[in-house]
Amino acid sequence: MSEPTGSKRTRPHLALAAAMILLAAGGLPTTGCSSEAEQARTIRKKGRNTFYVCKSCGASGKTRIGYDDKFPIRCPQCDQVAAVGGLKCTRCSRIIEAQNKPVYTCPHCQFVYDNRLSGPAPGPAAPNAAGP
């Protein structure tokens, strides 16, 4: 019987307190994981090493790009934003343009990269082939 007046008086106050707690919590997001965030920022600043092949001047090599950088990047040789991602050919050790295809050929040594084989690995014992 005494509830209605009491709850009416306390509710707005509670809501205000809850809002203040939310504000306070939202205002201090860095206290708990500041070192982690800083580490991530340092890693981001450092960037990563990548191979590149310039579509403009044909230069290729290794360079350092930021984690947020997207290809094409600026070519260190000709300063054109025409350098695409590259990879080192395992056969001739030259840098070739990275292809987004399952099968591609090294333009230098004609070595064929067949990434279709990297899918399901052949198991030691296939269930169908079991038997003497």
Enumerate binding residues for Zn ion (CB under 5 A). Answer: 54, 56-57, 59, 75, 77-78, 89, 91-92, 106, 108-109, 111
* Cβ partners under 8 Å of residue 109, min gap 6: 89, 91, 92, 94
- Tell me which amino acid residue 45 is: K
Q: How far is the CB of 29 from Zn ion (least distance, A)?
A: 42
Q: How far is the CB of 122 from Zn ion (least distance, A)?
A: 26
Q: Which is nearer to Zn ion, 33 or 57 (CB)?
A: 57
Q: Which is nearer to Zn ion, 46 or 64 (CB)?
A: 64
Task: Give the span between the Cα atoms of 70 and 81, in whole angstroms.
Answer: 11
Q: How far is the CB of 52 from Zn ion (least distance, A)?
A: 9
The conformation of residue 131, written as its DSSP 8-state character, comes to -
Which residue's entry shows tokens 């939202």? Answer: 26
Task: Give the span between the Cα atoms of 69 and 63, in whole angstroms.
Answer: 12
Q: Which is nearer to Zn ion, 47 or 77 (CB)?
A: 77
Q: How far is the CB of 92 from Zn ion (least distance, A)?
A: 3
